[in-house]
Structure 1
């Protein structure tokens, strides 16, 4: 019986276009100013910049070069934890200023609420930082959805296409893999989760449905039917 729903964000609960057409451009436009304003006096920002320096080989005191690295990582859509952390801090400012609201599909908002009320434990696993995850749901078009989630996982658990990451999540949750349903729009992520015994559902919101033996869903209403059957 499924007791835990673990969900991806991009392409699953929220549109890919929101991330790539709203969040990433905002980060690109404001990253340099944000880093320069906070590098000296904000310990959380300094910690991440030091991590960027170690990863890139740039001098930690050269803020301009670190900004160049961050902007190149954004263009490459790199999954660096330090970049994701800084983006999360920057996006928080954008959400608080009302520059945008977090996009969540209406069916996702509806059924996350229903599943929580039915006693399912809901978790997020995304390559975006935990801060960024909380922001997209906390400042969503449907209000604050964070009370429905029991926890959040990011790349500190490992890469999303590696099975060890899902074992790390299981260890953290302390549950049997067969009681967990993972929702994602990326087949390689589903395969990684299945390798450790987690059940999966493939969210394909647009285009042709793939030929596969795993459950394929158009939206969360169809996922709900799967949950009822299990």
Structure 2
């Protein structure tokens, strides 16, 4: 826990920056083990708490790095819906908090567990790995002869992990044309024009020689 003594941190706590979660929780004291009601505001990885809602200055802030969010132990659970923010290491403090309901406790625990910078780095790395996998295009081998045409395989569609899957609406009256059929139709036209051009060029060369 860090006591607020810098104007910039205090200003950030009460600024108009987006709030990830806020609400009433009870907090067990460090010296006095009784629970006191506090107004909590989560912004990024900083969990501020105030004596009253609307106060201009927070009482303190918990930096959510190097910690885990867990259910409170039986000896700590004087509150019915108690959980704790546990910092690992020697002489590190454990914050025991209490929610008003089971649903509120679960929502707070999930939000706090995802608030750390380390967690965000892991998520970004995993999303980057998934995007890198979708960027692998199949190798297209060129044909050895002009007459044969190899249909390229379309690359896999990129999937945004943040978008929910939506049903695809298809029109049953519209005939479906596959990529292979489309490629074959146009490649035949190109080959026909190419052969005609070669024939005309060969004929023109023969006329010049005979002249």
Superposed pair shares fold, TM > 0.5: no
Larger Rg: 2
Between structures 1 and 2, the one with greater strand share: 2
**What TM-score comes out, normalization by structure 1 length?**
0.21
Per residue, is there more helix in 1 or in 2? 1
TM norm structure 2: 0.22
